[in-house]
Homo-oligomer: A and B are copies of this chain.
């Protein structure tokens, strides 16, 4: 109890910027990302692999460059990621019949199973670090963040800030 109060007090100390939305957001975001990486590491995956598997499972087979864009990755970075996934037997490269420059990237059954495992593990991890918030507060947080990102003038849609 005393510790709780001290921690909360510490977060209120000092110049305003330490409790500014920007500082809190970027700090929390970095730590959330680290938790995510740590959660899926035992499955032998990194965040990029996860992102590609998710994109393929969600939007079906797609050319390599398109998936790279969707996962906010450069096409050159993508090569090694798909190399990994293919070597691990989770994804297949199939030359497109219509345009032989392209691949159709296909997630297979093992890939879907791996993704399902990862989703479960990540959900458990989130549930852990979201502990301080009640279900209603978590929902509130998700709503605020979604608007912050996607509403006009927000982080993803303000000026030239958009990446995708």
Contacts and interface: CB of A to CB of B under 8 A. Distances in A.
A144 B19 CA distance: 11
Q: How many copies does the complex hold?
A: 2
A129 interface: yes
A81 B12 CA distance: 27
A140 B138 contact: no
Contact of A130 (B34, B130, B148): B148
Interface stretch (A87-95, A97-105, A154-162): A154-162
B19 A122 contact: no
Given A4-B151, A22-B36, A58 B14 contact: yes
10 tightest CB-CB pairs across the interface, nearest first?
A29-B29, A132-B151, A24-B145, A31-B155, A131-B153, A14-B58, A26-B33, A11-B150, A7-B150, A25-B32
Interface of A: 3-4, 7-8, 10-12, 14-15, 17, 19-22, 24-36, 54, 57-58, 119, 122-123, 125-126, 128-133, 137-138, 140-142, 144-158, 161
